[in-house]
Amino acid sequence: MARKGILKRVTRALAFGLLAAMAWSALIVLLLRYIHPPFSALMVQRRVASWTSSTPYHSDHTWVPLEDIAPSMGAAVMAGEDQKFPDHSGFDWESIQKAYEHNEKSRKKRGASTISQQTAKNLFLWEGRSYVRKGFEAWFTMLMEAEWPKRRILEVYLNIVEFGDGIYGVEAASQHFFHKPAKRLRPSEAALLAAVLPNPHKYRVDAPSSFVRQRQAWILEQMTQMGGVEVVKELEK
């Protein structure tokens, strides 16, 4: 009987702790709908990792509202990363299924993360491919989709996504690579920035490989087919 009582109390405490953690995370996500995050979990990880590295590390990050980012930049990341972004509820199940089938047969793994999932991962979580991290990613993605409008998700994504070593957000990237504010980015420049996002440490904006140039051209084509900047303007309604 004593063991049953202890087990019951432990189970109750764990359940209470889980509910408290869920409520706290929901509150944090809700607050971040209105408060611009000064940094992301990814930025913190990169900074901590630099403490044990012999390579000098400099972080560049400047927050700008979505209206101060060229609409072509939003269109470019949707074209290149997540064309169903305006319509899905955080997950592209068709792409997830295709990626699973591909990864079962190939050593070269393919991802299927939406812009919402990438925002959740970069903002709140650590890097890795464990099921635990994927579970947290799914939870924060659902919270963001429930508590933020699509416009806010895109705004946060564009302000924290990594474009190169220590370069976070489209404003810092635009200033670093093109020496002008993100508001003045041309569609070709936006497409070039979006082209490196699959791996900003492997692909470079300032020294684009043939793959990056091909991807840039493909993104420009997809932007036109999606309706250009109108797809971004629709998010603001």
Task: Give the domain ranges of the chain.
Answer: 21-32+61-236
Q: What is residue 85's predicted lDDT score, i.e. its pLDDT?
A: 94
Any idea what DSSP says for residue 31? H
Q: What is residue 95's predicted lDDT score, i.e. its pLDDT?
A: 83
Q: What is residue 17's predicted lDDT score, i.e. its pLDDT?
A: 84
**Consecutive H or E run containing 61:** strand 60-61
Query: Taking the complete model, does pTM exceed 0.75, yes or no?
Result: yes
CB 191 within 8 A of CB 220: yes
Distance separating alpha carbons of residues 60 and 97, to the nearest angstrom: 36
Distance separating alpha carbons of residues 101 and 15, to the nearest angstrom: 36
CB 169 within 8 A of CB 161: yes
Grouped pLDDT means (10 residues each) for the chain, 237 residues: 72 83 93 96 93 88 96 96 93 82 67 90 88 93 97 97 96 97 97 95 94 97 87 73
Q: What is residue 83's predicted lDDT score, i.e. its pLDDT?
A: 93
115's tokens: 């812009």
Q: What is residue 221's predicted lDDT score, i.e. its pLDDT?
A: 95
Residue 186 has φ and ψ, to the nearest 5°, of -85, 160
Instruction: Please tell me the CATH superfamily of domain 21-32+61-236, with its number.
Output: Biosynthetic peptidoglycan transglycosylase-like (1.10.3810.10)
- Alpha carbon 184 to its chain centroid, in Å, reads 22
Q: What is residue 108's predicted lDDT score, i.e. its pLDDT?
A: 66
- Residues pairing with 168 in the sheet: 61, 162
Q: What is residue 231's predicted lDDT score, i.e. its pLDDT?
A: 81
* Cβ atoms < 10 Å from Cβ of 98: 13
